Amino acid sequence: MPTTKTKISNSDVKSLAQVLDQSEKIKDVMIECADDLSSVNVALKQRLANDVSSLGVENALQTSQSVEEKVQHAATQLSAVNQALGDEVIERQILEQRLETAQAQADESKHASLHDPLTGLPNRLLFYDRLEHGLAQANRHGWGLAVFFVDLDNFKIINDTLGHATGDHVLKTVALRLKETIRNDDTLCRHGGDEFLYLLLEVGDQEHIAVIADKIMAAIEAPKDPPELSSITIPSISASIGIAIFPKNGSSVEALIKSADEAMYKAKLAKENYVFA
């Protein structure tokens, strides 16, 4: 449900509440007028009782009593209207709360469908979408673009010997280290298992990309854990990285990821930190 509808509903409830407030003030004034007329009528009745021949006073009293009855009747009707307005305000507030809850649930569901539950990183679905968009922009503006395929070394051994809890901790640690290293406009995702993908937009030449690869590797191999995850001691971490460049190594999402994946395996076999496709 679009957020704009929620904003409009907020405005409607606020406007209705303002109308109700004004209406209540008018009702109070009418009640005061009715009370004043009632006091005047009492005085007229006393005067008429003392002067039975005063036809003008009698006519004035009749007119005033008639006006008093109309004002009291109008005040009663206005009170009923205000009650209905009050009920409507409550109903709209309840509806607004339900809309906000539904919007929050929809946002949470959308976020969950596009992010990895362990690391909080974008998942492959969101990464592929951003890579597709990045390719369209690169084609339109003549920009460079690179995809890093990052695979942790010896992760299976860590899982088998130290347990899955430590393995999960390693993955979260790597995710935090990488998030602190990448640029805001780029995208990092957990591709699955111990594999990560990194999309670099508007990159320069291969030398410039190599500098970024060195920073990524240094972040992965950092000796200290991020403060958020310092409660568990983990083994040293290393990785192998394959790098594919658009359009040299592919012009589609699938081609670039495949090229980067193949380069990663070459890096792992050669025991190199990273290899270009």
**From CA 54, how far away is CA 198, in angstroms rounded?**
100
| Same-domain pairing of 135 and 256 | yes
Question: Tokens 């209705």 identify what position?
Answer: 16
The domain boundary residue, chosen from 56, 80, 110? 110
For residue 116, being part of any structural domain is answered with: no
Residues in the chain: 277
The domain boundary residue, chosen from 55, 78, 110? 110
Question: Tokens 């969950």 identify what position?
Answer: 112
Residue 82 tokens read as: 């205000």
Q: Is 160 a catalytic residue?
A: no
Catalytic residue among 116, 151, 186, 194: 194
Query: What is the count of structural domains for the chain?
Result: 2
| Same-domain pairing of 18 and 96 | yes
**Range of the structural domain that residue 152 is part of:** 124-276
- Residue by residue, pLDDT tens for the chain (277 residues) are 444 444 445 666 666 667 767 777 776 767 777 776 777 667 667 766 666 556 666 666 677 777 777 777 777 777 777 777 777 778 777 777 778 877 777 767 776 778 899 999 999 999 999 999 999 999 998 888 999 999 999 888 888 888 888 889 889 989 999 998 888 889 999 998 999 999 999 888 899 999 999 999 999 988 765 555 555 566 678 899 999 999 999 999 999 999 999 999 999 999 999 999 9
For residue 190, being part of any structural domain is answered with: yes
pTM (predicted TM-score): 0.64
For residue 256, being part of any structural domain is answered with: yes
| Same-domain pairing of 48 and 154 | no
CB-CB contact of 249 with 256 (8 Å): yes
Comparing CA positions, the residue from 277, 225, 268 lying closest to residue 248 is 277
The domain boundary residue, chosen from 75, 110, 145? 110
